[in-house]
Structure 1
């Protein structure tokens, strides 16, 4: 199986060992990392030799560099490097080709003249413990989450992707806040067109402040008035790394533990880390369950309203009497019933979020039980409507993305209104409008409803269900990546054993 031209040309560095000039040695290292902006360069002059200190800012400790490298080199200018009492571990005269991996691992490189090249252990240690985000729990896999420090978060990415092709581009946004954001992508995989388009959108922003990625989302998304989210939020480094390797772009902001991933598709919001950490059948089942939950939470109240108001004849005879006894003494039509219960659920949910955690949990459980029992006992809402709204709420909580879950709850109201007005016909027209809207949406100029519209058979392998990882050989076509192949020789051992 042949590799792409990107794999052949960009992943292989030209040999530089024979070129011993100082300028070409430094140029070799800089060329290996491209235009990433976290590669720092500090000019040096030591023992009458021209020198330079190189390090990656997000994974190297600046205090160690100053204390263990810069200060000793300034203090002992007349000695050889091997004779200087250094507190950092030094490897004298490493090979130039080894300097790339040394930098990626967090070491600092000192180039002196045309012969000497040293590596110093200046790896940054995390000063703050990273805990798993509450909104993205996982059963298996990493339990590390992003924090509110941009440099620390970029360090998570650098340690997860130890490649010289990782690119970091910094921007300053906000006339008064002047917040720093970082655009992260993998050169050789991510589409240059999409990277350039995102950089242009960000560079043209003019705003007083940006306190969180939520500000950026409204300013970057293609259709800001759409109820569907165009960008994916995540607080998990492993998920962000997986999206980068797929060919997507990650946007991080100082002061926020949420990062933005774009472009994304509709089905990206139903994928979780556990899908790939579980067995094939298990992961596919739970992803399919989330998609079914989306449909249930979107349509169940509307179907109940349409059946009670227009299509009573489709109820089976065995439960017809139960339904009739439940609804005949209710003073409100089904639409008002559903609105009352849905609004009550939203009030309890919002109260649980805003209150302190122990009180919020109590309000959610006790408040739901008391209000549900009281409202049924008073004869304002039927028992069946309570069951319908409870199932709808539970289904919406099953959706992996908080933003998509909110979208479903908002769309419930117009669909219920259509069902109360036109019955099943109203529901069908509402669904046609929603599907048509999804087909028209774009995320950073890429189709939002792919692989269904436009239809892509290969993309279906990782949409509704998860195919085996060794069959997911290609990256998503809609991303227009430079390196389209994800796996070149999957399960190679199988051919050897046979």
Structure 2
């Protein structure tokens, strides 16, 4: 329990205990003893916010060379403050200052040792936006934690660094907001990490498999993100982030189904635009999942549902094709997956050539050879474009895989097969409860109050509460955030 008194009394040990408790015993709170003026002294700092090299060269080294005098005269840094308020010291530590404590002194010295990250950080490869931050995580663990600290400059941001893998001893960090995240979820995540008995873990994908509740579900249960702003926003919603050494991808859990359709750009645009593009993504989800199956059902079983004028056009395109619509669709979908895989594996200039030339040549050739109909080419092209609209690569891959069994069901039972397939998928989604959180929340269980950031994106000042699926300790986000507006 944190002490009520927050005034430094000259007892360095008590002050260190207070600071550690204020930071929820975060692993990156470091203490370095430095004797000065013949008294026991020490420096306390956050390894993920302060610059260690600056502390060593401009603070510790000068103090050791001149072990007497005033700290502010010896330390070679700018922005030096004196305070006796421990809460103020904690706030400054979160912003990159270090605290110099001397036994018997009534005031602490705050030294600015913050060094911002260089602007040369690479842009995200998989989560690009037109408007918003273009910074992404790196492969350095402490640098990634610093990016999170820069976006959540509050002492409650807790970092727990640990090793995983009996032989590899890989460094990972569990990051969460101590005043918001549910302790039960944090403990469960830490328990699962402690129970992993793997010989080595080098990839976040491996770690994801060890942590997820439903390993054979096609749907992703853990969000992968390269964006510090998105990870920080999820931390403020009460979720837990796992940062792994050597990986530019951060795992966020638990997350609902709708999180995989959200993009950082939604919150950098006005409400109407953000809502429109989000609806477009859900429409793309339905198209990518069911359009080929719908075409197969219409052509094979339910042709009476096709308008008369369109029937003749489809009939002409199918007249000389020797294959059934199901086989047509499978051939084109597999070909598309081959082109996609080839474009990923090859160097960028060649990949672009393969994608454009390969698609045009193959598409033209199969139509002229009457192996596939023109209509099927259009259907597969629209399906592929729709799958690209979904922001999450994991969800996009899931939709492409699920398209094959739905096509098979539609070829066997027509519209009825599509309906059965969709019902089975919906039942499966409702049953998923990763880390005890309902996957389809707030649709099932339904909660109109938290539906403001799902299919549509309400104005940010209307989202007063944090999502309830993580059961946050402090659920209220803001009240009357537009203070200038009366009766709102």
Q: TM-score by structure 2 length?
A: 0.96
Q: 1:436 aligns with which of 390, 411, 427?
A: 427
| Contact 1:132 1:144 (C-alpha < 8 Å) held by counterparts | yes
Paired with 2:4 and 2:368, the residues of 1 have a C-alpha distance of 79
> Residue 204 of structure 1 is aligned with which of 180, 184, 195?
195
Provide the C-alpha distance between the structure 1 equivalents of 2:464 and 2:481, rounded to a whole number of angstroms. 8
Matches within 5 A, 1:395-414: 395-414=386-405
Q: TM-score, normalised by structure 1?
A: 0.94
Find the counterpart in structure 2 of residue 79 from structure 1: 69
- Cα 1:408–1:113 change in 2 (3 A) is same
Out of 266, 274, 290, the position equivalent to 1:275 is: 266
Judged with a 3 Å threshold, the aligned counterparts in structure 2 of structure 1 residues 117 and 137 are, in CA distance, closer, same or farther, namely same
Match of 1:55 among 18, 28, 45: 45
**Counterpart mapping for 1:150-169 below 5 A:** 150-169=141-160
Contact 1:54 1:108 in 2 (8 A): yes
SS in 1 for 2:35: strand
Deviation at 1:233, TM superposition (A): 0.7
Structure 1 unaligned residues grouped into runs of 5+: 1-8
CA shift in 2, pair 1:18/1:419, >3 Å:
closer
Q: Which of the residues 325, 329, 335 maps onto 1:338?
A: 329
Q: Does 1:296 align with 2:287?
A: yes
Identify if the C-alpha distance between structure 1 residues 184 and 328 changes in structure 2 by more than 3 Å, giving closer, same or farther. Answer: same
Cα distance in 1 between the residues matched to 2:228 and 2:68: 45
**Cα separation, 2, equivalents of 1:298 and 1:326:** 24
Partner of 1:3: none
Task: Tell me, in whole angstroms, the C-alpha distance in 2 between the residues paired with 1:197 and 1:423.
Answer: 45
Per-residue deviation at 1:16?
2.4
- Does structure 1 retain, via aligned residues, the 8 Å contact 2:62–2:76? no
Q: For residues 289-317 of structure 1, what are the alpha-carbon distances to aligned partners after superposition, in whole Å with 9 as ceiling and x for unaligned?
A: 00000000000000110111111111111
Match of 2:40, SS state, is strand
For 2:373 and 2:474, locate their aligned partners in 1 and report how far apart those are by CA, in whole Å.
57
User: Within 5 A, what are the aligned runs for 1:51-450?
Assistant: 51-84=41-74, 86-89=75-78, 91=80, 93-96=82-85, 97-115=87-105, 116-126=107-117, 129-450=120-441
The structural deviation recorded for 1:77 is 2.0
Deviation at 1:98, TM superposition (A): 2.6
**Structure 2 Cα separation of the partners of residues 134 and 37 of structure 1:** 30
- The within-5 A match list for 1:434-473 is 434-473=425-464
* C-alpha displacement of 1:21: 3.0
Match of 2:83, SS?
coil
Q: 1 CA distance for matches of 2:119 and 2:205?
A: 24
- In structure 2, runs of 5+ residues without a counterpart are none
Q: Which 4+ residue blocks in structure 1 deviate beyond 4 angstroms?
A: none
Separation in structure 2 between the aligned mates of residue 408 and residue 18 of structure 1, nearest angstrom:
58
Show CA shifts across 1:249-282 (max 9, x none).
1111000000011100110000011111111111
Kindly tell me: are residues 102 and 373 of structure 1, through their superposed partners in 2, closer, same or farther at Cα, counting changes over 3 Å? same
**Shift of residue 134, structure 1, vs aligned partner:** 1.8
Give the CA deviation at 1:366.
0.6
2:403 & 2:314 partners in 1: Cα distance? Answer: 22
Q: Distance in 2 between matches of 1:25 and 1:228?
A: 48
Query: Which moved further from structure 2: 86-95 or 433-442?
Result: 86-95
1:468 deviation in Å?
1.3
Distance 1:80 1:106 in 2: 22
**8 Å CA contact 1:415, 1:426 repeated in 2:** yes
SS at match of 2:32: strand
- The residue number in structure 2 matching 1:23 is 13
Quick check: 1:90–1:118 contact (8 Å CA) kept in 2? no
Report how far residue 150 of structure 1 moved: 0.7
Distance 1:165 1:356, change over 3 A: same
Matches of 1:283 and 1:98 in 2, distance apart?
39
- Using a 3 Å threshold, how does the CA distance of structure 1 residues 234 and 82 change in structure 2: closer, same or farther? closer
Q: CA RMSD in A?
A: 1.7
Mapping 1:5-16, distance limit 5 Å? 14-16=4-6
